[in-house]
Amino acid sequence: MAETQEQTGKDWKSISIARQNEIRNAIPKSHCLSPTVIEGLQDSRNLISIPETCGILSQRELEITSTPSITKLLADIRNRVYTAVEVTMAFCKRASIAHQLTNCLTEVLYDSALAQAQELDKHLLVTGEPVGLLHGLPISVKDHISIAGTRATSGLVSMADNISDRDAYIIEILRKAGAVFYVKTTNPLCMLAMETHSNLFGRTVSPYNTNLSPGGSSGGEAALISLRGSLLGVGTDIGGSLRAPAAFSNIYTLKASTGRIPVAGMEWWLHPGMETVQCVIGPMAIGVDGLELFHEAALASSPWLVEPSLVNKPWDKRVIVNGTILKPLRIGLMLNDGVVTPHPPILRSLKETAKALEEAGHIVIPWVPVDHKGMSELTTATFFQDNAQPARHLIKKSGEELTPLVKFALDGLQSKPLTVTESWDLTYRRNQYRLSYAKLWNESQIDAIICPAAPTVSPLHDTTKSWGYTLVFNLLDYSTAVFPAGKVLDIDGADALPEGVDLDATYPKNSLEELNQVYSKLWFDKDQNGKVLGPERYKYAPIGLQLVARRYEEEKVLGILRTVVEARRNGGLEAY
Whether the CA torsion 532, 538, 541, 543 is positive or negative: it is negative
- Report long-range pairs for 259-262 (Cβ below 8 Å, ≥24 apart): 259/309, 259/310, 259/311, 260/295, 260/299, 260/310, 260/311, 260/313, 260/552, 260/554, 261/170, 261/295, 261/298, 261/299, 261/310, 262/168, 262/169, 262/170, 262/173, 262/298, 262/303, 262/306, 262/307, 262/310
Contact between 280 and 142 under an 8 Å Cβ cutoff? The reply is no
pLDDT (0 to 100) of residue 287:
98
At 10, the pLDDT band (50, 70, 90 cuts) reads confident
Rounded to whole angstroms, how far apart are CA atoms 1 and 12? 19
Rounded to whole angstroms, how far apart are CA atoms 73 and 65? 9
Q: Active site residue: 93, 142, 465, 556, which one?
A: 142
At 337, the pLDDT band (50, 70, 90 cuts) reads very high
147 labeled binding residue: no
pLDDT (0 to 100) of residue 45:
94
217 labeled binding residue: yes
At 412, the pLDDT band (50, 70, 90 cuts) reads confident
Comparing 162-166, 279-283, 504-508, 571-575, the range with the smallest average pLDDT is: 504-508
486 labeled binding residue: no
pLDDT (0 to 100) of residue 3:
46
Q: Above 50 in pLDDT, residue 5? A: no
Q: Above 90 in pLDDT, residue 513? A: no
pTM of this structure = 0.97
Rounded to whole angstroms, how far apart are CA atoms 444 and 442? 5
Q: What b/e sequence results for 363-372 when a residue is b if at least 16 CB atoms lie within 10 Å of its CB, and e otherwise?
A: ebeebebebb
Q: Above 60 in pLDDT, residue 9? A: no
240 labeled binding residue: yes
266 labeled binding residue: no
Pick the more confident residue, 501 or 124. Answer: 124
Contact between 165 and 207 under an 8 Å Cβ cutoff? The reply is no
pLDDT (0 to 100) of residue 7:
40
What percent of the chain clears pLDDT 90, i.e. is strictly above it? 89
Which residues, 6+ apart, have CB-to-CB distance to 143 below 8 Å? 106, 107, 151, 152, 153, 154, 155, 184, 185, 186, 187, 220
Containing 180, the helix (H) or strand (E) segment is strand 180-185
pLDDT (0 to 100) of residue 322:
58
pLDDT (0 to 100) of residue 499:
79
Letter for the amino acid at 246? A
For range 247-258, the mean pLDDT: 98
β-pairing verdict for 480-487 and 542-548: antiparallel
Q: Above 70 in pLDDT, residue 8? A: no
For range 232-242, the mean pLDDT: 98
Which CATH number does 5-319 carry? 3.90.1300.10
238 labeled binding residue: yes
Contact between 63 and 38 under an 8 Å Cβ cutoff? The reply is no
16 flagged as catalytic: no
pLDDT, averaged across the chain: 94
Q: What b/e sequence results for 260-289 when a residue is b if at least 16 CB atoms lie within 10 Å of its CB, and e otherwise?
A: bbbbebbbbbbeeebebbbbbbbbbbbbbb
pLDDT (0 to 100) of residue 2:
45
pLDDT (0 to 100) of residue 271:
67
Q: Above 70 in pLDDT, residue 498? A: yes
pLDDT (0 to 100) of residue 274:
87
pLDDT in tens, 38-95: 999 988 899 999 999 999 999 999 999 999 999 999 999 999 999 999 999 999 999 9
Contact between 246 and 544 under an 8 Å Cβ cutoff? The reply is yes
217 flagged as catalytic: yes
pLDDT in tens, 289-302: 999 999 999 999 99
What percent of the chain clears pLDDT 70, i.e. is strictly above it? 96
For range 441-453, the mean pLDDT: 97
At 4, the pLDDT band (50, 70, 90 cuts) reads very low
Q: Domain coordinates of the chain in residue numbers?
A: 5-319, 498-537
Whether the CA torsion 566, 571, 574, 575 is positive or negative: it is negative
349 flagged as catalytic: no
Q: Active site residue: 241, 257, 349, 398, which one?
A: 241
Q: Above 50 in pLDDT, residue 492? A: yes
pLDDT in tens, 121-159: 999 999 999 999 999 999 999 999 999 999 999 999 999
Q: Above 70 in pLDDT, residue 320? A: no
Q: Active site residue: 217, 230, 249, 398, which one?
A: 217
At 500, the pLDDT band (50, 70, 90 cuts) reads confident
Q: If you compute the radius of gyration of the chain from its CA atoms, what whole number of angstroms results?
A: 23
pLDDT (0 to 100) of residue 318:
80
pLDDT in tens, 373-409: 999 999 999 999 999 999 999 999 999 999 999 999 9
